[in-house]
Amino acid sequence: MQKAGLLLGCSARAWRSVRMASSGVTRRDPLTNKVALVTASTDGIGFAIARRLAQDGAHVVVSSRKQQNVDRAVAALQGEGLSVTGTVCHVGKAEDRERLVATLWMDKAREERIKETLQISRIGKPEECAGIVSFMCSEDASYITGETVVVGGGSPSRL
């Protein structure tokens, strides 16, 4: 019985550590002295990830295929006092990605059907993806290898 209590206590402490690390509570700037290059990072999930990594102490290089997007993102993040630079970088065909994204939200009926499959019944926010990315980049995750983390609102997944 004593072993079971010890295991439960360790599990609770480990979970609390992960939760606190993801929220930035345990220590300031866990990504100090690291550089993060984030592609497609001038809007949406990429921008939220770039912001979170910079908030956690990394110097972040944002990228997009359009200079005006890079300039806008860099100005916004530097305006928050974050260490950020940017560069133009075309990764793949932007037209295809834009069309694909414009298709999982222009159709409200389809969006509602997707929400019904999610345990939390809503579409996730870009910032909700950023915390786990920052955690995985930090020393707090240094012993994690070969894992797949699904940030999917409780959607059924098989990876």
Give the model confidence (pLDDT) of 19-28 as tens digits: 455 554 556 8
Whether 105 is in a domain gets the answer yes
pLDDT at residue 158 in the model? 64
pLDDT at residue 4 in the model? 46
Q: Check pLDDT > 50 for residue 64.
A: yes
pLDDT in tens, 74-109: 999 999 999 998 888 877 767 645 554 554 656 788
More confident residue, 5 or 117: 117
Whether 21 is in a domain gets the answer no
The CATH number for 129's domain is 3.40.50.720
Domain tally for the chain? 1
**Which residue is associated with the tokens 């069309």?**
99
**Which residue is associated with the tokens 């866990």?**
30
Q: Greatest CA separation found in the chain? A: 62
Measured CA distances, 5 to 56, 78, 79, 85 (Å): 34, 48, 48, 49
Whether 113 is in a domain gets the answer yes
Whether 132 is in a domain gets the answer yes
Whether 94 is in a domain gets the answer yes
pLDDT at residue 39 in the model? 85
Whether 72 is in a domain gets the answer yes
Of 50, 45, 1, 32, the residue nearest 139 (C-alpha): 32
* CA distance linking residue 77 with residue 44, whole number of Å: 14
pLDDT at residue 102 in the model? 56
Question: Please, which pLDDT band fits residue 8 given cuts at 50, 70 and 90?
Answer: very low
Whether 75 is in a domain gets the answer yes
Q: Check pLDDT > 50 for residue 51.
A: yes
More confident residue, 52 or 88: 52
pLDDT in tens, 110-155: 778 778 888 888 888 888 889 999 999 999 999 999 888 888 888 7
Q: Print the domain residue range for 76.
A: 35-141
pLDDT at residue 5 in the model? 46
